[in-house]
């Protein structure tokens, strides 16, 4: 019985070894059969066993896999170094920020008192603005009487109705526009397409030429044709009331009288026209130019003024608001002054 037991134990061990050996060979055969071709498997079935050993290279792949964390660690090191670089850049940029804070010092360096000194210059200009005044002009609102030699003799009061009216800009502007519009001739004229001489035939047929349709050659769109909406002779006169015109004239006279620029020449008589004689009188007065010389039926005086570039003359009956406002000083003859006060 013991021998039988030993025999059965040995057979069991051999059977276990036999079963174990095929199980170990199966994975080797499978690994060799996959990469090998059919021809190599037919020629040498046992030779691929050593080739199965390179299959152990898989752990090498694992090593490469294990080396990846090292690469990550290496990549992580520069990432850790980046904050240091940022800190370095921040540290480098901080000093310029302090320099920018120093800009107020640069603003202080701007010499503001110099600008104030520049603003003080107009004070010297204002001192030069006043025009040379005649020594006799001491009382605004009155006329200065001068003799034949140009010397001031007295000051006389002026009429309140003509020389004491408060100026109104709108009234003066309307009166000046009316004076200027009256002088326009209004003779500009152009011809329309109906006034031009020429044929009225159609230039070419309506269709088939490829060109734009055309009728008469006198069309305003063609050279030599008529003018569309061109000027025609007309009057540019602006109507204003007679009372407004007289009031505007009084306003202009009052403005010159308020500045003390009204002069009356007494005893100034000329037998023949003499520009030199009148020039001596006006230069001796030393008054502001341009000058308006007002006469009343005195052609000799009017002819003496015509060649003076800084003066003009007019009759008292033709005195206009525009002439008074264009001149800075008024010189009236004795006859003209009396006629103006009586008007």
Nearest-angstrom CA–CA distance, 117 and 127: 17
Q: Does residue 338 form part of some domain?
A: yes
Contacts of 340 (CB under 8 A, 6+ apart): 162, 294, 316, 319, 332
Say whether both 178 and 325 belong to one domain. Answer: yes
Q: In this predicted structure, what is the pLDDT of residue 260?
A: 87
The pLDDT assigned to 92 comes to 43
Range 75-88 average pLDDT: 45
* 155 phi and psi angles, rounded to 5 deg: -125, 135
Instruction: Give me the pLDDT at residue 286, please.
Output: 83
Q: Are 200 and 252 in the same domain?
A: no
Whether the model pTM is above 0.75: no
- Give domain status of residue 292, yes or no: yes
Q: Which residue has the tokens 């080396």?
A: 67
Element (H, E) at 280: helix 275-285
Residues 310 and 204 in one domain: no
Report pLDDT for 43.
47
Predicted local distance difference test score (pLDDT) of residue 4: 54
- Please report whether residue 168 resides in a domain: yes
* Same domain assignment for residues 181 and 198: no
The residue from 230, 253, 285 where one domain ends is: 230
Residues 181 and 115 in one domain: no
Q: Is residue 18 assigned to a domain? A: no
Q: 329 and 290 in one domain? A: yes
Choose among 241, 317, 254, 306: nearest CA to 275. Answer: 306
Q: What pLDDT is attached to residue 81?
A: 44
Across 102-111, 219-228, 238-247, 327-336, least confident range: 102-111
Beta bridge partners of 155: 144
Task: Assess whether pLDDT exceeds 70 at residue 79.
Answer: no
φ/ψ (deg, to 5) at 259: -85, -5
- Residue percentage of the chain with pLDDT more than 70: 59
3-class DSSP state of 205? coil
pLDDT confidence of residue 241: 95
Over the chain, what is the mean pLDDT? 74
User: For the chain, how many structural domains are there in total?
Assistant: 3
Bridge partners (DSSP) listed for residue 16: none
* pLDDT > 80? residue 168: yes
**Length reported for the chain:** 343
Q: Does residue 263 sit in the same domain as residue 173? A: yes
Of the candidates 273, 271, 282, which has an alpha carbon nearest to the alpha carbon of residue 327?
Answer: 282
| Residue 151, in any domain of the structure | yes
| Residue 291 and residue 305 in contact, taking contact as beta carbons nearer than 8 Å | no
pLDDT for position 195? 94
Q: Are residues 266 and 153 in the same domain?
A: yes
pLDDT score, position 108: 56
CA distances in angstroms from 95 to 87, 91, 106, 107, listed in the order given: 13, 8, 17, 20
Domain with 150 in it:
142-186+239-342
The Cα-based distances of 214 to 84, 227, 278 in angstroms read: 85, 17, 69
In a domain, 32, yes or no: no
Give every CB contact of residue 330 below 8 A, 6+ residues apart in sequence: 253, 256, 261, 262, 263, 291, 292, 294, 324
- Average pLDDT of the segment spanning 244-261: 92
How many helices and strands (H and E) does the chain possess? 14, 6
């Amino acid at each position: 019985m013991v021998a039988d037991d030993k025999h059965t134990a040995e057979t069991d061990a051999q059977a276990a070894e036999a079963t174990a050996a095929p199980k170990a060979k199966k994975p080797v055969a499978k690994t060799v059969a996959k990469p090998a071709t059919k021809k190599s498997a037919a020629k040498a079935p046992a030779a691929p066993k050593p080739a199965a050993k390179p299959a152990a290279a898989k752990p090498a792949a694992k090593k490469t896999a294990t080396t990846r964390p090292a690469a990550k660690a290496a990549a992580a090191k520069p990432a850790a170094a980046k904050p240091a670089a940022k800190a370095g850049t921040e540290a480098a940029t901080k000093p310029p920020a302090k320099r920018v804070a120093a800009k107020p010092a640069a603003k202080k360096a701007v010499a503001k008192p110099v600008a104030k000194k520049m603003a003080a210059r107009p004070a010297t200009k204002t001192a030069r603005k006043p025009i040379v005044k005649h020594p006799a002009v001491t009382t605004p609102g009155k006329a200065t009487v001068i003799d034949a030699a140009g010397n001031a003799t007295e000051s006389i009061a002026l009429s309140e109705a003509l020389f004491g009216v408060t100026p109104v800009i709108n009234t003066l502007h309307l009166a000046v526009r009316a004076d200027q519009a009256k002088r326009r001739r209004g003779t500009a004229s152009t011809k329309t397409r109906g006034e031009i001489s020429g044929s009225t035939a159609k230039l070419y047929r309506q269709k088939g030429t490829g060109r734009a349709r055309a009728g008469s050659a006198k069309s305003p769109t063609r050279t030599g044709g008529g003018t569309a909406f061109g000027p025609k002779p007309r009057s540019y006169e602006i109507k204003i009331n007679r009372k407004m015109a007289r009031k505007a004239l009084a306003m202009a006279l009052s403005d010159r009288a308020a500045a003390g620029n009204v002069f009356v020449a007494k005893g100034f008589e000329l037998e023949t026209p003499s520009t030199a004689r009148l020039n001596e009188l006006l230069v001796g007065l030393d008054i502001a130019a341009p000058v308006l010389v007002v006469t009343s039926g005195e052609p000799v005086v009017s002819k003496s003024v015509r060649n003076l570039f800084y003066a003009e003359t007019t009759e008292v009956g033709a005195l206009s608001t525009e002439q008074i406002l264009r001149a800075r000083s008024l010189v009236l003859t004795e006859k003209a002054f009396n006629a103006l006060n009586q008007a």
